[in-house]
Amino acid sequence: MYSPRVKICGIKTLEIALYAAENGADSLGFVFFDKSPRAVCAAAVRGITSNLPPFINKTGVFVDKNIDEILDIAFASGIDTIQLHSGSAIYNREFIENLSRRCSFPVIMAMGMEFIDENSVAALMNDPQPGISAWMIDNSGGTGRPAIWHEISDKRTAAFLRSRVIIAGGINISNVGYLLEKMLPYGIDVSSGLEIERGVKDKGLIKKFMGHVREISEVYLDSENGALY
């Protein structure tokens, strides 16, 4: 049975982190970017990560920081995965190779695409980059604007999507079912769709969203009932 991994990003408090974990979130995201309304510091995140139950992934989100800055924050905060965003060419192949030589953290590379379709996913599949564990396709740029999701029909491309690609960008309870039925990605990243105001997560929205994702996985996307695999 298909079951997407769910990352709830923009976590700022232990209370919300524990609630998200209790309701089935696989990963929690912490934003180390001062200009974001979801920004946190390493010390605050350490207070959260050190009090989480086992088997919860802890991802640090970095924007245009150099390797020393990333590693200083990563080791101080207690995260176990690095997610990179860049508005420039700073995170190129050489950067990833150097980062991989200096740490063993899995690396998620985020990129924006206007149309998330078969060709764009195939382009990632056909250009593997050592040191990158997964790709995140996020057309919203942190704005919460939904991207355009197309059905992936080619089985080889879809298999890559399901094993290596995370989808983000304006995901909420009203559109997550459509996204999963069309694309079946490895994971989904949700942030603004679970907020009552910018940067403030809502427990009720988290509970409803996670329950809805479970229902979709159990009822609509069983591999014996018409999914791609």
φ, ψ for residue 93, nearest 5 deg: -60, -40
Confidence at 229, pLDDT banded by 50, 70, 90: very low
Report the C-alpha gap between 184 and 179 in whole angstroms.
8
Decide if 51 is inside a domain.
Answer: yes
Confidence at 114, pLDDT banded by 50, 70, 90: confident
Decide if 114 is inside a domain.
Answer: yes
Note the pLDDT tens digit of each residue in 72-107: 999 999 999 999 997 667 899 999 999 999 999 999
Confidence at 171, pLDDT banded by 50, 70, 90: very high
Q: What percent of the chain has pLDDT over 90?
A: 70
Least confident span in 4-13, 50-59, 119-128, 219-228: 219-228
Confidence at 150, pLDDT banded by 50, 70, 90: confident
Give the H or E element holding residue 125. helix 118-125
Decide if 60 is inside a domain.
Answer: yes
- Does residue 118 surpass a pLDDT of 70? yes
pLDDT given for residue 148 in this prediction: 77
Decide if 71 is inside a domain.
Answer: yes
Decide if 50 is inside a domain.
Answer: yes
Report the C-alpha gap between 178 and 137 in whole angstroms.
16
3-class DSSP state of 73: helix
Note the pLDDT tens digit of each residue in 210-223: 999 999 887 655 55
Instruction: Give the global pTM.
Output: 0.92
- Does residue 138 surpass a pLDDT of 50? yes
- Strand-pairing partners, residue 107, are 82
Average pLDDT, the chain: 90
Decide if 225 is inside a domain.
Answer: no
Report the C-alpha gap between 199 and 97 in whole angstroms.
33
**Mean pLDDT value across residues 174-184:** 90
Taking CA atoms, 18 is separated from 24, 54, 79, 176, in Å, by 10, 11, 15, 23
The number of distinct structural domains making up the chain is: 1
pLDDT given for residue 141 in this prediction: 55
User: The tokens of 192 are what?
Assistant: 């603004």
Task: Read off the CATH number of the domain in which 196 is found.
Answer: 3.20.20.70
Decide if 179 is inside a domain.
Answer: yes
Domain assignment of residue 26, given as a range? 5-219
Decide if 30 is inside a domain.
Answer: yes
